[in-house]
Amino acid sequence: MIIDSTSDKINIFGGLIPANKILYSSGFNKFFDLSSNKSDIGDGAVLCSYLNLLIQGRYHFDEIELFRDDESFQMICELCHIPSSATLRQRLDLLSLEDSVLNKLNSMHLNLLKPVSFGTESYSGANLIPCDIDVSVLENANSLKEGTGFTYRNCVGYAPIFAHLGTEGYLLANELRRGEDHSQNGTPEFLNSCVQKLEALNLLDRVLFRMDSAFDCQDNIDHISSVKYIVKRNLRKEAKEYWLEIARILGGPKRLNGRINYIGSIVKDSKRIVFEVELITKDKNGQLLLIPEIKVDTYWTNLEIDPAKVILLYNEHGTSEQFHSELKTDMNIEKLPSGKFQTNQFVLHLAMIAFNVLRRIGQGIVQTKIKVPLKMNASRRRIGSIIKNIIMAPTKIVRHSNKIFAKFYENWKWLEAFEKFYLSI
């Protein structure tokens, strides 16, 4: 094999073509001025350039230098000039301090989510859109970044909160938090912002909030009382024997392999509590226990459905861990690029937009139902798979007869689905 060079411009970011079409169809060019000259690069050019880095799974400011002199990148992004890494860093520092910029991004983000048909969880003939809220650690050890601290995962980093919407895991909202912050710190305000966004999307009456025991707080429940919710309870000082006694009275017992399982519900303080109590009489080797072990899980909920169904609905909350992994690992957002807390919060907000663009591309490809190299029965595709197979698609950008053509290899296995999705945006 002989390594040679060619003057043909072959790029590895053909998937940015539908990504930018999604951004512009969401009103990005209406909210931000994209005009620029060599001496003044507009806010729109700075934000668009960095969003296109994030969509490729690149987060470091210096990586913009790979595209500064790339005419194809400029044409796809519809930009006259690409900022330098120093300009990108400095301008994002400044933009992160401007509330008007964040408000415009929020409006554009809602426009981006409006065309989405969110996946639902079904119960008793109805369909609910899950909204999973949880904290996930961004490990930033061995750094002096502002706001990093010792997290509940016993590592140094940040502890942001996320709200994922639908069974596909679209990001509705996020908030960067200091590493040592408790999960309840600022949560009522965060829940308020989620409710307001769902109202703007006309989804409030169709949403099911799911949260784990870290959010078991009356204040939180008051803020989501207008919607359906399941919140895992913290037993605190409640004795497990107390719940076993209640379970024996109200729960229907099921016996299986040395376990007696009780599931039922009670009303306490005008709120429904679903419980699952398990009495374990044998260990994993089948040895009888002298003192049976008691395992108790309880949940606050305003769903008037079978208790077993409530527990099944809550258990799907664990899928949100996969969504966190896609953001942190597939998009490389684990290590935030700036030493300034406010800038990193802004970057995380832009990453949310990039994440949803990638999710829309992935779901759009799935919904074409056109045969692709990967298995067809997938209900969604990982962000990493979309970056690798779609965003990094080799392409040749050609300008001819006052038109711009994107040329892909004719035997590229994703081409038919890619083209059909692009035309549907």
Residue-by-residue DSSP string for 184-238: TTTHHHHHHHHHHHHHHTT-GGGEEEEE-GGG--HHHHHHTTTSEEEEEPP-TT-
Tell me how far apart the alpha carbons of residues 76 and 16 are, in angstroms, rounded to a whole number.
7
Greatest extent of the chain over all pairs of C-alpha atoms, in Å: 85
State the pLDDT at residue 199. Answer: 96
C-alpha distance from residue 6 to each of 3, 10, 36, 73 (Å): 10, 9, 31, 18
Residue with token string 């006694």: 245
Per-10-residue mean pLDDT for the chain, 425 residues long? 80 95 95 74 94 97 94 92 94 96 97 96 84 95 91 93 96 96 93 96 95 94 92 93 93 82 92 94 78 93 93 92 94 94 97 98 92 74 94 91 90 93 94
State the pLDDT at residue 39. Answer: 61
C-alpha distance from residue 16 to each of 6, 114, 118, 393 (Å): 23, 21, 23, 9
State the pLDDT at residue 285. Answer: 73
Evaluate whether 339 touches 145 at the Cβ level (below 8 Å).
Answer: yes
Tell me how far apart the alpha carbons of residues 113 and 169 are, in angstroms, rounded to a whole number.
12
| Coil, helix or strand at residue 261 | strand
State the pLDDT at residue 283. Answer: 77
Evaluate whether 368 touches 421 at the Cβ level (below 8 Å).
Answer: yes
Identify the CA nearest to 75 among candidates 16, 116, 129: 16
Pairing of strands 228-232, 288-301: antiparallel
Residue with token string 């037993």: 235
Tell me how far apart the alpha carbons of residues 111 and 93 are, in angstroms, rounded to a whole number.
25
Task: Give me the residues paired with residue 298 across strands.
Answer: 275
The pTM of this model reads 0.94
State the pLDDT at residue 362. Answer: 95
Tell me how far apart the alpha carbons of residues 191 and 234 are, in angstroms, rounded to a whole number.
19
State the pLDDT at residue 160. Answer: 96
State the pLDDT at residue 33. Answer: 82
Tokens for 176?
């960067």
State the pLDDT at residue 40. Answer: 76
Tokens for 280?
């374990």
State the pLDDT at residue 14. Answer: 94
